[in-house]
Structure formats: C-alpha cells, structure tokens
C-alpha cells in the first residue's frame, strides 16, 4: 500500500466517529445543552423584590417567577434561553452572577486585583521583616562562664552522672 | 508623621467617609414634598412604546406604582379605576407596573378593566432608586409643574380616600380647564 493510501485510511478512521456522531445527532435532534431544571436556575437568579436568590424566597413575586421558569422549561428552553427571558422581563439585576461584560466585569476584576495587591503586601511585609531581624552572627560573642559558674556546672553534672 | 502613618490615617478617614455617606443616603428615605419628581423614559404597557411622567407636564397626575402579584394592589384597583373615570377631566392617573411579568401585568389590566395609561419599570430601577418606593402599592400626587404634592405608601381603602389624597388637584379650577391627555395623544 502506498503512503498516500495509508494516509487516506488514517484520515478516514479519524473522521468516522465524528461523522457518525454528527449524523446521529442531526437525525435524533440532539440538544447540545442538558435540559434545564428549576433548582439549577433558582440558584442562579434573584427574586425581583426580596434581594435574595430565588431559591430562598417564597414571596408572591418569587412564586410568579417560578411559574414563568417552569413554563419555559416545559417548552424545552435551555438554561441560557430561560435566563435571557428572565433578563428581558426583569432586567439584568435578575441574574445572581454579574455578566462578564461592561461595568459588571469589575465584579470579577476587583477581587483578583485585591488578591494580587494583598499577596504583594504580604511579600513586602515578609521582606521588610527579614531585613529588620538581627542576625545572631552579627551580635556580640557570649561571655565565657566565670570560674564559680564552671565549678557549679561541673558539680551538677557529676551529681547527675552526666 | 511618616508615610505609613499617613496611609493608615487616610484609610481610616476614607472608611469613615463611606460610613457617613451611607448613613446620609439611607436617611433620604422618601421624596421631599414640593420637590420635582424624578422622571425617566420607560416602556409602555402594553409594550411597543415609551413614555414618561414628563409627558404629562402641565397636568395633575396621580402616579400609582403597582404589581400584579400584589394583593393590596388588586384590592385598591376598582376604587382607583372608578376615581379615574369620575375625575379624568381634572387629573390623570398614571400607573407604573414594577418588578412584574408583562403577561401577568396585562392580565391584571384586563381583569380590572383598567384604561388609564400605564408604564412598565421591569427592573424597579425607577421606582426604587428615583421614586424611593418601599413597596407596592404607593401613590404620588404630582402638580402640573412636576412637583410632589402628596405621597401615600400603601393601598387606598376606597374612592373617598383617593379623593382626599387628590384634593389639591380636584380643587384646582385651572386643572379642570386643561387638557387631560398627554401631548402626543392629544394630537
């Protein structure tokens, strides 16, 4: 078999699973996203009047929001589509997590900037502390014990059989 | 004072500043009588247009903030509707639906056969931040210059209560001779 033939076989072998998957996917109308669930969405959106996650609220407004979400789930909408519909109804504040665009980006950037500044501060403090700490080698030499002290040490060591 | 002490002092001063600012802002809990009522362009209800309290400048306006999920709003609606029908030559009732599903809001309007103009503040930005409402329903009486004359948080018990609230408008002879529709609708 020529090199070209081997190359064709390899390409065909690699492409076949993808083609099979694509064919079965288009044939059965496969959904790239898993079906949305109410508990999952409740943890990602806010109650419009309570200032808490929807999952934590049972106010009349929250119950209406739940009914709306259930209706969209039953229509087969994905989580993203449902969240988009909620934003269209209540505005962007309905999302518990800020969007990663526009001024909302700062909600993600500020903690990172704070963390970096905090780490730099800690590193600076450690360096400053180490510089200030006296080196024992630079201190004055310890004085030798006097004769009395040396005698007492000898006696004590003899008493304890050391 | 060395630079480290200066940084600490600046930090403490900034923190105190934020605390004081927060307390001052929290103290402004409602609009002041006699002051201009803030305006904002909102969607109309049914959707498809835009409107603002500013469109009604030159007329007395009873601004009523409501939501379809609010029980007291349902309770006061028939009286408010009767008041509007009986006094539409002197005062415009303008509803603002807030933090509500548009479909629910439309059902509410049909259920109570409400005909007066409606705006929709879906996010509550206008009603919370500018009108400083603390709940629904809440009503504001706005004079023809756009200033706040009266404010009533909570539902009106009956039509008489609404007439008492709107008395300055009902007693204003000039209002009775003025046009009762917004400028764009009167053409």
CATH number reported for the structural domain that contains residue B151 in this entry? 3.40.30.10
pTM equals: 0.67
Give the pLDDT confidence of B72-101 residue by residue, as tens digits: 999 999 999 999 999 999 999 999 999 999
A-B C-beta contacts closer than 8 Å: 36
Write out the H or E segment, with its range, that includes residue B121.
strand B118-121
| Interface check A42 vs B, CB under 8 A | no
Answer whether residue B162 is part of any domain: yes
Closest CB from B68, B71, B123 relative to A93: B123
Measured in angstroms, the CA of B122 and the nearest CA of chain A are apart by: 5
At B185 the pLDDT is 44
Return d(Cα A72, Cα B143) in angstroms, integer. 43
Q: How far apart are CA B19 and CA A93, in angstroms?
A: 25
Q: How many domains does chain B have?
A: 2
Query: Which residue in A has a C-alpha nearest to residue B71's C-alpha?
Result: A60
d(CA A71, CA A85): 11
Nearest to B124 among A48, A59, A65 (CB): A48
Residue B49 and residue B83 in one domain: yes
Give a yes or no: residue B13 inside a domain: yes
Domain match, B86 and B154 both = yes
Q: How far is A89 from chain B (nearest CA, A)?
A: 6
Spell out which residues of chain A touch residue B104, defining contact as CB-CB under 8 Å.
Answer: 64
pLDDT digits (tens, 9 = 90+) for B107-140: 999 999 999 999 999 999 999 999 999 999 999 9
Q: Is the peptide bond before B137 cis (omega within 30 degrees of 0)?
A: yes
Of B181, B158, B185, which Cα lies nearest the Cα of B59? B181
Asked if omega into B46 is within 30° of 0 (cis), the reply is: yes
Instruction: Inform me whether the pLDDT recorded for A99 exceeds 60.
Output: yes
Are B57 and B24 within one domain? no
A92·B68 Cβ contact <8 A: no
H or E element that contains A16? helix A3-28
B5 and B50 both lie in a single domain: no
Q: Which ipTM did the prediction report?
A: 0.77
Residues B48 and B22 in one domain: no
pLDDT tens-digit series, residues B31-77: 999 999 999 999 999 988 999 999 999 999 999 999 999 999 999 99
Confidence band of A32 (pLDDT split at 50, 70, 90): low
- Give chain A positions within 8 Å (CB) of B125: 91, 93
- Quick check: is B37 in a domain? no
B87 exposure class (CB count in 10 Å sphere: 0-12, 13-18, 19+): buried
B135 falls within a domain: yes
CB of B43 within 8 Å of a chain A CB? The answer is no
In a domain, B34, yes or no: no
Q: B157-169: per-residue pLDDT in tens?
A: 999 999 999 999 9
Distance separating alpha carbons of residues B149 and B175, to the nearest angstrom: 14
Residue A61 pLDDT level (bands cut at 50, 70, 90):
very high
Contact partners, residue B48, CB within 8 Å, separation at least 6: none
Same domain, B3 and B83: no
Whether residue A89 and residue B67 make contact (CB cut-off 8 A), yes or no, is no
Q: Does residue B164 lie in a domain region?
A: yes
Instruction: Identify the three-state secondary structure at position A123.
Output: helix
Domain extent for B6 = 1-29
Residue B184 domain-assigned (yes or no): no
Do B132 and B94 have their domain in common? yes
Question: Do B19 and B124 meet the contact criterion of CB atoms below 8 Å apart?
Answer: no
Mean pLDDT to the nearest integer, A4-21: 54
Binary contact (B71, A60; C-beta < 8 A): yes
Are residues B58 and B15 located together in one domain of the fold? no
pLDDT surpasses 60 at A18? no
Half-sphere exposure of A99 (CA within 13 A, CB side): 12
Length of chain A: 162
């Amino acid at each position: 078999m020529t090199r070209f033939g081997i190359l064709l076989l390899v390409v065909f072998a690699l492409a076949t699973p993808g083609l099979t998957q694509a064919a079965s996917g288009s044939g059965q109308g496969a959904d790239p996203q898993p079906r949305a669930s109410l508990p999952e969405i409740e943890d990602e959106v806010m109650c419009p009047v309570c200032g808490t996650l929807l999952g934590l609220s049972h106010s009349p407004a929250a119950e209406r929001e739940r009914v709306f979400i259930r209706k969209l789930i039953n229509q087969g909408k994905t989580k993203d589509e449902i969240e988009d519909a909620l934003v269209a109804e209540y505005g962007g504040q309905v999302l518990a997590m800020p969007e990663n665009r526009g001024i909302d980006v700062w909600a993600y950037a500020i903690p990172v900037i704070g963390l970096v500044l905090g780490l730099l501060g800690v590193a600076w403090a450690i360096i400053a502390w180490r510089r200030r700490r006296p080196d024992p080698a630079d201190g004055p030499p310890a004085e030798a014990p006097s004769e009395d002290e040396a005698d007492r040490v000898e006696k004590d060591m003899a008493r304890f059989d050391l | 004072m060395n630079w480290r002490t200066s940084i600490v002092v600046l930090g403490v001063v900034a923190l105190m500043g934020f605390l004081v600012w927060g307390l001052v802002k929290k103290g402004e809990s409602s609009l002041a009588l006699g002051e201009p009522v803030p305006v904002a362009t909102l969607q109309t209800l049914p959707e498809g247009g835009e409107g603002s309290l500013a469109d009604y400048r030159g007329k007395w306006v009873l601004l009523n903030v409501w939501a379809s999920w609010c029980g007291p709003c349902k309770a006061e609606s028939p009286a408010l509707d009767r008041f509007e029908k009986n006094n539409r030559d002197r005062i415009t009732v303008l509803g603002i639906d807030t933090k509500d599903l548009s479909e629910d809001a439309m059902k509410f309007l049909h259920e109570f056969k409400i005909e007066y103009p409606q705006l929709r503040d879906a996010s509550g930005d206008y009603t919370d931040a500018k009108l400083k409402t603390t709940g629904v329903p809440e009503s504001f009486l706005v004079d023809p210059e756009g200033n706040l004359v009266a404010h009533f948080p909570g539902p009106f018990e009956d039509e008489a209560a609404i007439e008492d609230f709107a008395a300055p408008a009902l007693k204003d002879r000039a209002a009775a001779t003025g046009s009762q529709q917004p400028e764009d609708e009167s053409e």
